[in-house]
Amino acid sequence: MVTRRSNYRVPAHLTPLVFDGYIQGLAVYRMDGPATVSVASTTVTVEGLSFTFTDKSLSALAAEISRSIPDVTVAAGINTVPLADDLVVTAGDTTPEGGVVVRFKGMALQTTERTRIRLIKPHNETWHGAWWARINKGTFRTTINGVRYTFGVPEYDSQAWSQRFGKPYMEHIKAPCAVRSNRVVELPRGPVLGDSGLVELYKEGVALDNSVIEDIDEANKLVYLTEDLSLGDRITANYVYEEEHYVYRGLNMNPSLQHSPYLVDQFVLFYLLPWKSTEGVKRYSTVNHIVGSSVESCLGLIPDYLNDPVVVVGALRTRQVEEAGDVDVQDARIQGGGVKEDIDAETIEPEAMFYSDIGNVDGRGYPGNSVIISRIPRTTLDTFTHNEIMEIAHRHVALGTVNLVDYAD
């Protein structure tokens, strides 16, 4: 499948053709002509912006460049992690569609990995949504005490797949999107199924006509528009994406107050039970989790499954990145109309003196802790004044509490 622009076609995956002894690593496309690309020892420079390529895969580098430069799209030919001086650009070396080729100098071997089961962090979601950890599908076997165990993730096949397209596609509804530039929107999950009509965009909850979508970069989850947006626009989308992993919904990893605040600074350890064994064991749910203050404590909390072995997949931890001192407080109150000076405001509203535009200059603070009403016989005023009564009551009321007195007959 290809991604289309108005004047060229961008392959989602490149054929690794060899030129001058080197294999295709990236292909860089610009909307209005050949892109300007150069390579240094550890960086790739595209249209004047430099990107470090060491310690990151070529697919991650392609996505980073595409997100940073709105008029440029980058496709990865092989998904390898280059070292210093591993990339090269040769003048005139382009794809048939006009993309500037960045080649990989090293030898590349691509294999289909079927055995590795690993833990993957949640999709790039906002604070408003749930965060679900993911487990890479795979299988492996081991023999313990003469029993052969098969470990796998059978739950992957029973997920809520798209009713229209089936496995491995899922439908994401009302998904909050990021506005990357005035005409580029990034979807939160991918790769995206970008056929015509499958991506529906909404601006402030109102559907946009499908004609505003000029192009969809499926691999990098980018939607290019024909009309301008503002960075503050709230854009949501209905779309279909390919889910290559098992989405574990047994624990919401979002540590915000509306979701799972108790997970802040806690470790969540994920482990597997055998999928099946030569003794006749067969499970359709194998992934489990334990929450603890450390990985070691999580290991000690794993239940005893008698004769069944357990395989630890990995652990996730959500951490607080801001401190209380980083909080910025702004007063959002505004002055109201007030009350005419010849009117006693408290006769209209007993709590009027708590209002900033009627009471003290800075506003008489209305406490957020508590308010109590003390009912006192009116005859008490024959012995004490109101102020004396309030002083006595104040000594028996918690600090920060407003005490309202009701003189009862």
Could you read off the pLDDT of 59-80 as tens digits, one per residue?
889 888 988 888 888 888 777 8
pLDDT value of position 47: 93
Q: What is the pLDDT of residue 22?
A: 85
Distance CA 274, CA 287 (A): 9
pLDDT score for 362: 55
10 Å CB burial of residue 158 (0-12, 13-18, 19+) is: exposed
Highest mean pLDDT among 82-91, 119-128, 346-355: 82-91
Distance CA 281, CA 261 (A): 37
CA-CA distance, 177 to 126, in Å (whole number)? 9
Write out the two tokens for 53: 């390529």
Of 283, 288, 284, residue with least CA distance to 272: 288
Residue 388: strand, helix, or coil: helix
pLDDT for 326-338, tens place per residue?
767 766 656 666 6
Give the 3-state secondary structure of residue 324: helix
Which contiguous run of DSSP H or E holds residue 25?
strand 22-30
Q: Which pLDDT score, from 0 to 100, does residue 292 have?
A: 93
Give pLDDT tens digits for 231-254.
778 999 999 999 989 999 999 999
pLDDT at residue 112 is higher than 70: no
Q: What is the mean pLDDT of residues 163-180?
A: 90
How many Å from the N-terminal Cα to the C-terminal Cα in the chain?
85
- The predicted model gives 113-132 an average pLDDT of 79
The two beta strands, 370-377 and 401-408, are: parallel
- Indicate if the pLDDT at residue 271 is higher than 90: yes
pLDDT: which is higher, 345 or 186 = 186
**Can you tell me the mean pLDDT for 265-278?**
93
Q: Is the pTM of this model over 0.85?
A: no
Q: Identify which has the larger pLDDT, 123 or 288.
A: 288
Confidence of residue 373 (pLDDT cuts 50, 70, 90): confident
Tokens describing residue 25: 């690593």
